[in-house]
Amino acid sequence: MTGFDPLEFLERAVKTPSHESVAEMRGLLVETLESADVEASVDDAGNVLAERASEKDGPHVVLNTHIDTVPPHVPFSRGGDRIRGRGSCDAKGPLAALLVAFLAAEPARGKLTLAITPDEETDSAGAAALDVEADAVIVGEPTGLDVCNAGRGRFQGTVTLRGENAHAAHPESGVNAIASLPPVLAALESFDTRDPHAELGSPTLTPTTIEGGTATNQIPAKSSFVIDRRSVPPEGAEEFRESLEAHLQDSAPEGVTVDVSLAARDTPFLEAFETPADSKLVKTLRQVSGGEVRPFGAATEASYFAQVAPTVVFGPGVLSDDEGAVAHGPREYVDAEEVESAADAVTETLRELLG
């Protein structure tokens, strides 16, 4: 494919808001593919799908990233090699790089699928709806050209303590659910006893919001706090919920019951994943990119794909730099040279896997 300019596309993409609706950005993507004589479709979940295939049997490789961004929209600007604006690195820069590789691909065997999802930043309904039978998946996210073969998962839940109401003038006649919080909160720190994961380290368990009580002159019968869990393999969501509930109940004062419930979702939680460092996908992409093999620093839809195929996270840009947040921040940026380097690395990887 000749004539596709990833930086021109990236400029248009960053100028296109996609924090409230992805409709305009999805239209730009479909228009870009069709202008390159590639048939693109949009499925019922809002995924943009395209394919390049050989008549000869071979591996099925999937290129994935997302087109939604977090609010607020940050306008496009450019100074020299640096492209700024919301989505520049998360994940429209990676998308531009994947498009270069997809449009340049001429599989001598096997099949290449482009699968771009609409809601990675929220519920991942698009990714959950994909029925992917792949042999390798590259997920575009800002990794600074490192090859990320593992990542933590993210679960969210609510811990609820229940006691018994009473008049505040006679506190001994009730069971105070707010006064019972300190030992339960302290028990969060003693929950994880496993050895750290070889690549991802230890999981984290963090209380983030808290509430309780309904009247200023009443002993509260209920209090609750929200927890954020960043998991490591092999922990699953329900296993975590059950074991945390039992652990916290053991620490609660007499008369207090503890309930741990996971946040309601229509899609599975993004669980931790790990692809062996010696897999062909990891070794090939590392060799051509020159990047390190390391874990990714955030939860991604790679979690879904890794359940069916070797999966890596790769792309231009960084989540943060020495000055602070980049992705999701007001100073979000990506360097044009990194976008081009990422495109070259994925292009060469596809040649190796499908050539």
- My answer on whether 77 and 199 are in the same domain is no
Q: Which two tokens stand for residue 139?
A: 């997920």
The order of strands in the sheet holding 77-79 is 77-79, 82-84, 333-335
In whole angstroms, give the CA distance from residue 38 to residue 32. Answer: 9
Please report where in the chains the tokens 């019972």 appear, as a residue: 180
- My answer on whether 81 and 50 are in the same domain is yes
In whole angstroms, give the CA distance from residue 228 to residue 15. Answer: 33
Specify whether the backbone of 263 is left (phi greater than 0), alpha (psi in -120 to 50) or beta. beta
Specify whether the backbone of 354 is left (phi greater than 0), alpha (psi in -120 to 50) or beta. alpha
pLDDT value at position 193? Answer: 87
- My answer on whether 36 and 145 are in the same domain is yes
- For 16-39, the pLDDT digits (tens) are 999 999 999 999 999 999 999 999
Contact partners, residue 345, CB within 8 Å, separation at least 6: 145, 285, 288, 289, 291, 314
Among 209, 243, 262, which residue terminates a domain?
A: 262
pLDDT value at position 1? Answer: 45
Cα 351 to Cα 98, 134, 246, distances in angstroms: 14, 17, 51
Low-confidence spans in the chain with pLDDT less than 70:
1-2
pLDDT value at position 8? Answer: 97
pLDDT value at position 233? Answer: 87
- Residue 68 falls in the annotated catalytic set: yes
Range of the domain at 157: 153-262
Please report where in the chains the tokens 């329900």 appear, as a residue: 238
pLDDT value at position 198? Answer: 87
- My answer on whether 121 and 24 are in the same domain is yes
Beta strands 311-314; 136-140: pairing state: parallel
pLDDT value at position 2? Answer: 54
CA gyration radius, the chain: 23
Contact partners, residue 97, CB within 8 Å, separation at least 6: 6, 140, 315, 316, 339, 340, 342, 343, 346
CB neighbour class for 51 (10 Å; exposed up to 12, middle 13-18, buried from 19): middle
Among 210, 244, 262, which residue terminates a domain?
A: 262
CB neighbour class for 125 (10 Å; exposed up to 12, middle 13-18, buried from 19): middle
**Residue of 11, 90, 119, 120 with catalytic role:** 120
The answer as to whether 267 is a domain residue is no
pLDDT value at position 215? Answer: 96
**Residue of 11, 68, 235, 301 with catalytic role:** 68
Cα 25 to Cα 16, 22, 87, 95, 125, distances in angstroms: 6, 5, 11, 12, 17
CATH number at residue 123: 3.40.630.10
CATH number at residue 227: 3.30.70.360
Asked if residue 188 lies in contact with residue 252, where contact means CB atoms within 8 angstroms, the answer is no
- My answer on whether 258 and 301 are in the same domain is no
The answer as to whether 302 is a domain residue is yes
- My answer on whether 145 and 159 are in the same domain is no
Q: What is the SS3 assignment for 284?
A: helix
- My answer on whether 334 and 190 are in the same domain is no
- My answer on whether 195 and 317 are in the same domain is no
CB neighbour class for 13 (10 Å; exposed up to 12, middle 13-18, buried from 19): buried
Residue 227: its H or E element: strand 222-231
- Residue 322 falls in the annotated catalytic set: no
CA atoms lying within 13 Å on the CB side of residue 263 = 16
**Max CA distance (Å), the chain:** 81
Burial string for 207-220 (b: 16+ CB within 10 Å, else e) reads eeeeebeeeeeebb
pLDDT value at position 297? Answer: 85
- My answer on whether 249 and 196 are in the same domain is yes
pLDDT value at position 321? Answer: 96
- My answer on whether 166 and 228 are in the same domain is yes
Q: Count up the domains in the chain and report the number.
A: 2
Q: Which two tokens stand for residue 324?
A: 């602070």
Residue 154: its H or E element: strand 153-162
- My answer on whether 281 and 136 are in the same domain is yes
The answer as to whether 105 is a domain residue is yes
